[in-house]
Structure 1
Amino acid sequence: METLDLKGKTVLVTGGTKGIGKAIADELAKAGAQVIVSARTKPNETSHHFIAADLTSASDVDRLSKEIDDTFGGIDILINNVGGLTTPGGGHSTLTDAHWQQELDLNLISAIRLDRILLPKMIEKQSGVIIHISSVAGKQALWNLNLAYAVSKAALNSYSKALATELAGKGVRVLTVAPGATKTAPMVKFLEDYSASAGISPEEGMKQLMAQTGGIPMGRMAEPEEVAQLVHFLVSPSAAYLTGTIYAIDGGSLPVVN
């Protein structure tokens, strides 16, 4: 298991205080990495170095980068996990320009901005890994539920692939992880709200949502720790020849050949 060892590596996990981000931060710390986490607000407790930042703000990204440089001298691994579904469902007619911009800023531009400011030191060292946390929605949009979110994640997928190609000869690997339905607090709340609006139970709401995507063959949502274990492998020396690929972790729900 030495090829999964991350001792001596410094990692930044954005959105690293809860859900998938926290699971990734904890997993990489167990593997020996020095982990930095960022989020808009500080959690009640964290065992990782915390930096408050709103990554939709260019000035906050600049400040985050400066603190990392001043304290750690840079990073070896960047996990762009910040993102989320923040816009209403109902299709194109319910979405304003502000909704589209909000979703793009959170799910795409924040990652582009952070990559751009942290990449020079990785390129200088000829070493580094960037993981973009996307979503299966980027390959299978549900027009009535997540149109703007799905489009922003599809754009992230395309950007990630292009960046991987650009950096492949410079020692920096870029990969995308696309979770399906994952048992996080936001997902549970989304299911509750969706079910309440439809006048059905959360269990029935889950069945209806999954029916739109063909269901989950494995019969359950992913645990955040399962996504974290995939990320751990991808950032480790064991994955040294992997770059430019999107890894869906969805229990087999995507009804396409990747």
Structure 2
Amino acid sequence: MSDFLNLSGKRALITSGTKGAGAATVDLFRELGARVLTTARSFPANSSADLFVAADLSTSEGCFTVAEAVRGQLGGVDIIVHMLGGSSSPAGGFSALGDSDWHKELDLNLFPPVRLDRELIPGMIAQGSGVVIHVSSIQRLLPLPEATTAYAAAKAALSTYSKSLSKEVSPKGVRVVRVSPGWIETEASVKLARRLADEAGTDVEGGKKIIMDSLGGIPLGRPSSPTEIANLVAFLSSDRASSITGAEYVIDGGTVPTV
């Protein structure tokens, strides 16, 4: 019996691929036969130099550097997975967010996909095929006003951009799909759980419950793992999902309470 998923021969760019869900996706894509180039701001100790480019994707120069590496090292691209994202805004609600905070969130969560797509999708159109995965967040639907208003707004903008792009390029052979995770149990999120636990005088599991409660609860009772995110991205990137485009796939353990 043949393998259900096979990415053999596919050329993939996966941004922010050295930690968390990004690293899990890089590992899975390579296991499935894809040739993967990934990025981060600095070289990790365990990466092969010919499949990694150091760049700051929050800048136009960094995006151009990565696009040139894709063209030079892969000779083009079949799959783009925009994993990069995050928030560094201060707590305190909308009034605590200055212009610089808003610009940082947009520069990290919206403009890298916009810039890289503009550089690389024309090549996909020319070859008549390609897949673009935009990793958004359930916070575009469930923003946390104390700390993530700007992040959530940037992800909402990414989602709208992604849908519009899909309508433009799908007739030309390029599928565009959104993946919206909820809370993912990464090293960073466990570190946050520990800090919250210390502040509340409880253990790590208690810290995790604090996070889940802040999201309104997770019916599944736990966060998603990086591997579970990678599994979904791999399926959507594969020929098994060849009629899927313009859609959003939420992977959040049931956190979003609406239909």
TM-score, structure 2 as length reference: 0.94
Query: Which residue number in structure 2 is paired with residue 171 of structure 1?
Result: 173
Deviation at 1:2, TM superposition (A): 4.8
Q: Give distance in 2, aligned partners of 1:147 and 1:67.
A: 34
Q: Does 1:32 align with 2:37?
A: no
Amino acid at match of 2:182: G
Query: Which residue number in structure 2 is paired with residue 213 of structure 1?
Result: 215
Query: Which residue number in structure 1 is paired with residue 193 of structure 2?
Result: 191
Q: How many residues align?
A: 257
One of 123, 135, 138 as aligned partner of 1:136: 138
Comparing 1-10 and 147-156, the one that deviates more:
1-10
Look up the SS of the partner of 1:4 in the other structure: coil
- What is the Cα-based RMSD across aligned positions, in Å? 1.6
Q: Does 1:151 align with 2:149?
A: no
Q: Give distance in 2, aligned partners of 1:225 and 1:3.
A: 17
Contact 1:3 1:236 in 2 (8 A): no
Change (3 A) 1:37 1:89: same
Which segments of 5 or more consecutive residues in structure 1 lack a partner in the other structure? Answer: none
Comparing 193-202 and 93-102, the one that deviates more:
193-202
The equivalences for 1:99-114 within 5 A come to 99-114=101-116
Query: Which residue number in structure 1 is paired with residue 7 of structure 2?
Result: 6
Query: Which residue number in structure 2 is paired with residue 246 of structure 1?
Result: 248
Residue identity over aligned pairs, in percent, reads 44
Which segments of 5 or more consecutive residues in structure 2 lack a partner in the other structure? Answer: none
Contact 1:213 1:255 in 2 (8 A): no
Query: Which residue number in structure 1 is paired with residue 21 of structure 2?
Result: 20
Query: Which residue number in structure 2 is paired with residue 46 of structure 1?
Result: 47
Contact 1:89 1:147 in 2 (8 A): no
Note the alpha carbon deviations across 1:191-250, whole angstroms, 9 max, x for none. 334444556544333323322332111111111001000001000001000011111111
Note the alpha carbon deviations across 1:79-104, whole angstroms, 9 max, x for none. 00111121112210111110010001
Query: Which residue number in structure 2 is paired with residue 125 of structure 1?
Result: 127
Look up the SS of the partner of 1:176 in the other structure: strand
Q: Give distance in 1, aligned partners of 2:247 and 2:239.
A: 16
Q: Does 1:59 align with 2:71?
A: no
Contact 1:180 1:222 in 2 (8 A): yes
Change (3 A) 1:201 1:99: farther
Contact 1:77 1:130 in 2 (8 A): yes
Amino acid at match of 2:74: F
Contact 2:60 2:115 in 1 (8 A): yes
